[in-house]
Structure 1
Amino acid sequence: MKTLKLITVFALTAVLGFTSCQSEENTEVGANPNANSSTSPTASNFERASMNDGSDDDFLDGNACTELLFPLTATVNGQNISIISELDFSTVLEIFAEFNDDADNVTFNFPIRVRTSNYTEVTVNNQEELDALNAACENAEAEGRDAISCIDFNFPITMLTYDIALEQTGTVVLQSEKQLYTFMTGLQADEFFTVNYPVSATLSNGTTVQLNSDAEFRDSISDCVQFEEEEDEAATMAAEVEATLTNTQFKVQSFVNAGVNTAADFADWSIEFTNDLKLVAKNNVNATLSEIEGTYAVSSDTSVFLNIAFGSNNTVSALNNDWVIATYSDTMVALQSKTDASITLTFQKL
């Protein structure tokens, strides 16, 4: 899932009141040659970072530009689901997770309402209108008009305003992302501003940072965007690994612990990864031995992980671990322990 919010071409800027006042006691009173214009990189960064985030429901509408508004109903893999709040997202995800080799399908019961990146609410009457919104979102991304969702400001934020002569005209105290977006998009060509730093913000990796300048803000954006790109790459890799494993039987080609390769202990066993996230270990030499069942799960952050759980005190329980995907191909998956990189496991497709 892509975590970037995008501008949509279907909505107009929402009008929102905010606090503005004249001041002669600010630390920046007077002419300020470092004031930013409406077309400055700082203005663009704040505008993009304050857009409405529509990415949390992308698994439903596939559109990071739009936020679905509740209530709504949809048919999910043939099941009619009422979605009253974000709490109901888990029901949809559980349906998606039932099988990992099927094509998940969501059909909305129109009309539905959405909130766009610039906070305008729009009624979508049919699939064609929804497709048009999605196409506009894709075009905006292709044109580099993507928004930044990896940084959340901790309000309030105070802006100092200036006229074309760079003389201070007042202050604006902003209490929300919507107010910040409205301020930035409402700046005229003869209006300038500076940020009354420091500004506190929380990045998508959970880190809270204090920004002390436009340059620090720019660098924080660069860092968190890179982090999200790494997350996106890992998510793509996780899907590829899961597809490689699903409905396939493997043998243990290598299992190294404390420098000793014990793959021979599993030579008679095949390991099948089913499409409902189950594991089945079967002895292919001695048919009298019962199959051993377990579970698996593929996940990711900036790396890709495979959890294997066969229970305890059985022939294959030594394979239990939280593994990191080291390398993989269509026929092989190589793993190393999340807690001890010296412990490695390689599965070879049968």
Structure 2
Amino acid sequence: MKTKFKFLVLLPFFALLLFTSCQEETVEISSPDEAETLTATSELTSFISATSKNDGSKDNIIDGTSCISVKLPVVVKVRGLEIRIDSEADYIKIKRLYEEFEDDIDRLDIIFPITIVTSEHEEITIESAEELSEFIAECKDDDEEEEKEIRCIDFKFPISFSVFDRDFQMIEVVEIENNRQLHRFMKRVKKSEVFASLNFPVNMVLKDGTVLTAENNEQLKRIIEAAKDSCEEEDDFSKERLENYLKRCPWIVYEFKRNNQENDEFKQYAINFKDDGVVTMRSRNGDVLTGEWGLRRTRRGVLLKMAFDNLADFTLEWLLYDFEDGKIKVYEAGGNRIILKRNCEVVVDITKERVKNFLQECLWRITELEVDDINKEDQYIGTPLKFFENNVVKIRINGELVEGTYEVLVRNAGIGLEINLEGRPELKLQWLIKFLSEDEIELINGDNEMELERDCPDNDEDVVYIGEVLVNGVWEVASYMVLDADLTQNYEGYVIGFNANGKLFAEGQGNNYVGSWHGYRYEGINLGLNFRTDDAPFFELRHRWKIKEITPNRIELKDYDSNGEIERVLVLENIQ
């Protein structure tokens, strides 16, 4: 019997000249040509080994890094909910919770201890978040001589190797079922502990699912090399790329820890990395600090240096150990860590011109107003503001436009805003702008706070539709539930109407209430109702309601508590 093998010779080629055999059954081994010959240090051997490394990128939604993976099952906490992740398919559970609200910061906490798997398929027990951060930072070492993982192509298992002894007698055929087995086998090959031939054909699978077949060593090398180049394009961790990435948008401090102490004081600080090594930082009270920044590449990885004269906590050279779309993590030994989240709408460098331009775009709703420890925001439900070029401001109340003036001021402490409307002295306070984005302005005056949110209803088809439905009907309260209590009867005999100019009215039982309404989008579609009365029962309906269902004949509104639980449900039906 004669058997022919194509194989990877993992011994210097001249050793074949010494090959002799004396066995009962002769095996004829055809010598590969020189182009297919591999040694323990050859490029293709390295390619196969790099392809077999553990791919840590699949679970980045959990650990935020590609240099390790978390062994499943694992329990994580998202939005206060504990979720058990049993398989890769369960990652979608985390993503859905992240996407539930558009404007919040995604946070995930791992329940420790966990087991991590390194790129070398080594399993290590991790006891805490601090230990995990330190391990991730260290595993980002930038050693050019180290064999780097190739993540964008995989072998389609099973594959097999024919194993030979030092006399090139075939010992066995080894079946390989997964990357872990392959990586361990290739380690033995690279150390010349075993001599083996890869049995062709083998199939390779690209990230997009494309299957490529290699019939020999040269074809296999070309397939992996082409895929490797695409990996390098995707994973380029270059200084230039990072520099542009940092400068593209402002960054918000999501988590800050120095010397193992978490400091909430710096949360929501806005950082702007500029050209020429200038960095500006805006605190929550509106103060702006200017410092220097820079990047440099080392064997450890890319280091981000920040230096502020009056902010020692940030002045350090931080190891940038992970970045993904919209989030950056930096670390330094001793329990120092910062997590930044990108927010392209935040304005760090606030100017008078920029504020005026923002104000004159669309309408603005007063969503928070606290003066002398008294909450006054309810007075402004359904009453948006409109700012004009000539320092005129108008507020819509009961369907009527009330005119006043406003002024954007430059003060030593920053940019200020005053709004002068008759009978509303709280708006005329000398407000200082502490936060500015295209959609939100936060202002302070001592311990007083005000928040404005931009509202562009004319550009939103859903909001326009809501207005059309409301105006073209006469409505009654079909149901009003507060938890399990049915209070619908309190509204019997009343009819409710909506005018196109924002006027809201209710008539019945000898009473006549007039107020304001406004439909808008914020984390969904909302309806602000303000009957402008402290009398029962309509004072209870003064609220910013979530619209859960709307048709020409029925509107269902809901009110949620801080935990997302439904507190009240209001249903209006068209009786026209």
Bin for the TM-score computed over the shorter chain = 0.5 to 0.7
- 1:38 paired with 2:45, answer no
AA aligned opposite 2:31: N
Secondary structure of the 1:139 match is: coil
Asked if 2 retains the 8 angstrom alpha-carbon contact of 1:163 and 1:190, the reply is no
Matches for 1:1-350 after TM superposition, within 5 Å? 25-28=3-6, 29-30=28-29, 32=31, 34-139=36-141, 144-162=146-164, 167=168, 169-176=170-177, 177-187=179-189, 188-189=191-192, 191-229=194-232, 239=325, 243-244=343-344, 282-283=457-458
Gap change, CA 1:127 and 1:244, over 3 Å in 2: closer
Question: Which residue of 2 is the match for residue 3 of structure 1?
Answer: none
AA aligned opposite 1:283: D
AA aligned opposite 1:197: F
Gap change, CA 1:113 and 1:105, over 3 Å in 2: same
Gap change, CA 1:144 and 1:120, over 3 Å in 2: closer
Q: Which has the higher strand share?
A: 2
CA displacement at 1:111 relative to structure 2: 0.8
CA distance in 1, matches of 2:501, 2:226: 57
Asked if 1 retains the 8 angstrom alpha-carbon contact of 2:5 and 2:29, the reply is no
Question: Which residue of 2 is the match for residue 264 of structure 1?
Answer: none
CA distance in 1, matches of 2:88, 2:194: 40
AA aligned opposite 2:116: V
Secondary structure of the 1:216 match is: helix
C-alpha RMSD of matched pairs (Å): 4.3
CA distance in 2, matches of 1:128, 1:225: 33
Question: In the TM superposition, what whole-angstrom CA distance separates every residue of 1:206-258 from its partner, at most 9, and x where no partner exists?
Answer: 21101123332232223323434555689x89947x954799x8x9xxxxxxx
The unaligned stretches of length 5 or more in structure 2 are: 7-27, 249-323, 327-341, 348-357, 362-437, 441-453, 465-499, 503-517, 524-576
AA aligned opposite 2:174: V
CA displacement at 1:204 relative to structure 2: 0.7
CA distance in 2, matches of 1:101, 1:122: 36
Asked if 2 retains the 8 angstrom alpha-carbon contact of 1:62 and 1:134, the reply is no
The unaligned stretches of length 5 or more in structure 1 are: 1-22, 252-271, 296-350
Question: In the TM superposition, what whole-angstrom CA distance separates every residue of 1:103-131 from its partner, at most 9, and x where no partner exists?
Answer: 43322221112233333332111123212
Secondary structure of the 2:141 match is: helix
AA aligned opposite 1:200: N
Question: In the TM superposition, what whole-angstrom CA distance separates every residue of 1:31-86 from its partner, at most 9, and x where no partner exists?
Answer: 63544222221221111111232321111112323332233322335544333433
Question: Which residue of 1 is the match for residue 428 of structure 2?
Answer: none
Question: Which residue of 2 is the match for residue 313 of structure 1?
Answer: none
CA distance in 1, matches of 2:127, 2:522: 46
Asked if 1 retains the 8 angstrom alpha-carbon contact of 2:56 and 2:119, the reply is yes
Gap change, CA 1:222 and 1:77, over 3 Å in 2: farther
Asked if 1 retains the 8 angstrom alpha-carbon contact of 2:163 and 2:174, the reply is no
CA distance in 1, matches of 2:455, 2:42: 59
Asked if 1 retains the 8 angstrom alpha-carbon contact of 2:46 and 2:147, the reply is no
Secondary structure of the 1:104 match is: coil
CA displacement at 1:87 relative to structure 2: 3.9
AA aligned opposite 2:59: D
CA distance in 2, matches of 1:232, 1:161: 35
CA distance in 2, matches of 1:81, 1:111: 15
CA distance in 2, matches of 1:125, 1:118: 20
Structure 1-normalised TM-score?
0.56
CA displacement at 1:134 relative to structure 2: 0.8
AA aligned opposite 1:71: P
CA displacement at 1:168 relative to structure 2: 5.1
Gap change, CA 1:218 and 1:293, over 3 Å in 2: farther
Structure 2-normalised TM-score?
0.36
CA displacement at 1:102 relative to structure 2: 4.2
AA aligned opposite 1:172: V
AA aligned opposite 1:212: E
Question: Which residue of 2 is the match for residue 324 of structure 1?
Answer: none
CA distance in 2, matches of 1:148, 1:84: 25
Gap change, CA 1:122 and 1:203, over 3 Å in 2: same
CA distance in 1, matches of 2:209, 2:145: 29
Larger Rg belongs to: 2
Question: Which residue of 2 is the match for residue 258 of structure 1?
Answer: none
Secondary structure of the 1:114 match is: strand
Gap change, CA 1:83 and 1:30, over 3 Å in 2: closer
CA distance in 2, matches of 1:107, 1:69: 16
Secondary structure of the 2:140 match is: helix
CA distance in 2, matches of 1:227, 1:81: 34
Gap change, CA 1:50 and 1:273, over 3 Å in 2: farther
AA aligned opposite 1:178: R
Asked if 2 retains the 8 angstrom alpha-carbon contact of 1:197 and 1:211, the reply is yes
Asked if 1 retains the 8 angstrom alpha-carbon contact of 2:3 and 2:29, the reply is no
Asked if 1 retains the 8 angstrom alpha-carbon contact of 2:51 and 2:149, the reply is yes
CA distance in 2, matches of 1:117, 1:109: 22
